[in-house]
Structure 1
Amino acid sequence: MKFFMVLQAKNIKYYSLILLTALFTAWFLFVQNILHAPVFSTEDGPKAVYKGEKNVAITFNIGWGDEKAAPIIETLKREKIKSATFFLSGSWAERHPDIVAEIVKEGYEIGMLGYDYKDYTEMEDQEIIRDISKAQEAFKKLNVKNIELLRAPTGHFDKRLLKISEKFGYTVVHWSIDSKDWTNPGVDRIVQNITKAQKGDIILLHASDSAKQTNKALPELLSELRSKNLNFVNVSEMISNSSASSEEVR
C-alpha cells in the first residue's frame, strides 16, 4: 500500500508538471499572437493591416481639393522624405493627373481610396465592387500600375470589404496613429498627436483641402519622428515579411 501511495504521488507530480508546462506554453503562444498578428481580421479570413514591426509609414488620404496636395509633396521633397504612401480616390486622381504623375515620379507609393469617397459600410456589396472597379479603371487610364493597397474611404469597414478586397487582390490598410489633422486643431496639436509613434506605426495624414494645417505641421512632425530614430518607409515595405496584432471585425 505504501509503495502504491508513493507511486501515485509521483504520478500526480509528473502529470501536474505536464499540465503546468502545457498551460505556460498556451499562455506564451497567446501573448505572442497578441503581439505579432494583423490587426483587423475575420476569424479565418482576410485581414486589414494597421501596424507593422519596423520603421514608420506616413500616409496621406486625398479625396478632394485643388490646393493642398502639391505643396505637401514639395515639403516632402524638401525634407528629403523618399518614402510615403498616398491613398487617392479615383475621382480626384482623374481630375489631377499632373499631381498623380508627380507622386509617381518622386517614387511615392499610391494606394486606392475607392472612387467616390463614400462610406463602404453604408453600401451594398455590388455598390462597393462597382466603386472599386471604377477606381481601377481611373488609375489604369492614368498608367498607375501595381496598386496593391486599399483604404476604406471614410475609414469605416467591415468583414464584407475584407472579403471583397481579397477577391480584387488588395490588402486593406488602416492606421495606428491618427494625426487628426483634418480637424484643423492647430500645428502644435497635430504634432502632439503623433508623438506616441513608435516602430511599426502607420500614421494617418490628409492632403485634401479640408486639412488646412497639415503642410505647416509637416516639418516639425517629421523632425519629431526623426528624433526617435525612426526611418520612413511606405506601407508595402513596412508590411512585407512582417506581422501585426489582430482582432475580429464584426
Structure 2
Amino acid sequence: MNYFFVINARKFKQYLFIALAIIFSAAIVYSEQSNVSVFMNSEPSAIYSVQTEKKVIALTFDISWGDTRAEPILKILKDNDVKDATFFLSSPWSKSHPDIVSHIKSYGFEIGSHGNKFDNYSDLSDEEIRNEISTAHGILTELIGKEPNLIRLPNGDFDKRVLRIADDLGYSVIQWDTDSQDWLNKGVDTLVNRVVSKAHPGDIVLLHASDSSQQTHEALPDIIQQLRAKGYQFVSVSELIKQTQVETTPVEDQAMKQIH
C-alpha cells in the first residue's frame, strides 16, 4: 500500500511540473504576442516598399530647388506613356513655381509634400515639426486643389517624434527602397544600371527633378524602357500602397538620414 502511494506521489509531482511548464510557456507566448501587437498598432512607420509578387513599381521625384529639370522630366514621362508617378514638392519651391506645379497636376501625376524649410526635422522641436508640415500642407493644398496625404521629409530625415506628428496630421511618411543617387551625377549609364539592377516588385524608387540632378532626364528614357522590358508597370505611391500589405522598417530614436 505504501509503495502504491509513493508511485502516485511521484507521478503527481511529474504531472504538476508539466502542467506548470505549459501554463508558464503559454503566458510567455501571450505576453510576446501582446507586445508585438501593441508595437505594430501604435507606432507609425515609414513606408519603404510594399510586399507583392506583382511587377509594379513607383517612380518618385523630389523637387526642392531649380527650374530647368522638372519640365524635361515631365515631357519624358508623357512621351513614354508613363501615366503614374509621384512628385514630392517642397512648399517654398512650389510657391515660386506655380506653373510647373500646375503642369505636374495637369498630367495627372500624384503630388506629395516635401516639407517646408529644408531642415532635418529630427533636430526640431515638436511644435516646429508640426508647423513645418502644416505650413507646407496649406501651400500645397491651395496650389493643387486637394489635400496631400503623403510626405517625404527633407533629407529623408526623421525619428519617432516626426513619424507620430506626421501621422497626427494625416500623413504617411514615404521613403524609398531604391536610391538612384542621381544627385551625385556619376554618369547616365551608372544611373540607369543602378536603378534597373536594384528594382524589384513593390519598389519605391527615389529620383530628383531638382537642378542639382543634372542627368536624371537623360537616364529616364532608358530606365523606363528597361524596366518595362522586365515586365514592370508604373504606378503612383498611393496605388502601390493600396495593392498589398505595406512593408515598413522599424525606427529607432536616432534620425534616419539621406542627403540629397
Which TM-score applies when normalising by structure 2?
A: 0.79
Which whole-Å deviations, capped at 9, do the CAs of 1:189-245 have from their partners, x for residues lacking one? 111211121101100000000000000000111122112211110000101242214
Q: What residue in structure 2 maps to residue 36 of structure 1? A: none
| Alpha-carbon distance in structure 2 between the residues aligned to 1:42 and 1:115 | 29
Q: Is the 8 A contact 1:90 1:112 kept in 2?
A: yes
Q: CA deviation at 1:117?
A: 1.9
Per the alignment, residue 242 of structure 1 pairs with: 245
Partners of 2:80 and 2:217 in 1: CA distance: 12
Q: Do 1:119 and 1:156's aligned partners in 2 also have CA atoms closer than 8 Å?
A: yes
Tell whether the 8 Å contact from 2:112 to 2:151 is kept in structure 1 after alignment: yes
RMSD across aligned C-alpha pairs, in angstroms?
3.1
The residue type equivalent to 2:231 in the other structure is N
Alpha-carbon offset, residue 144 of structure 1:
3.2
Percent identity (aligned): 42
Aligned to 1:45: 43
Gaps of 5+ in 2: 254-260
Alignment of 1:192-211 (within 5 A): 192-194=193-195, 195-211=197-213
Structure 1: which amino acid aligns with 2:58? A
Match of 1:80 in 2: 81
2:234 is paired with a residue whose SS is coil
Distance in 2, Cα, partners of 1:139 & 1:247: 29
Distance in 2 of aligned mates of 1:139 and 1:245 = 26
Aligned counterpart, 1:215: 217
Q: Distance in 2 between matches of 1:227 and 1:249?
A: 38
Query: 2:166 is paired with a residue of what secondary structure?
Result: helix
More helix by share: 2
Which residue does the alignment assign to 1:37? Answer: none
* Greater displacement, 214-223 / 49-58: 49-58
CA contact 1:56–1:230 (8 Å) conserved in 2: yes
**Following the alignment from structure 1 to structure 2, what is the Cα–Cα distance between the partners of residues 144 and 184?**
34
Q: Distance in 1 between matches of 2:207 and 2:111?
A: 14
- Preserved CA contact (<8 Å) 2:45 2:251: no
Size of the aligned set, in residue pairs, is: 235
Normalised by the size of structure 1, how large is the TM-score? 0.82
Is the counterpart of residue 162 in structure 1 residue 163 in structure 2? yes
Structure ID, larger Rg: 2
Counterpart AA for 1:150: I
Relative to structure 1, is the Cα distance of residues 224 and 161 closer, same or farther in structure 2, using a 3 angstrom cutoff?
same
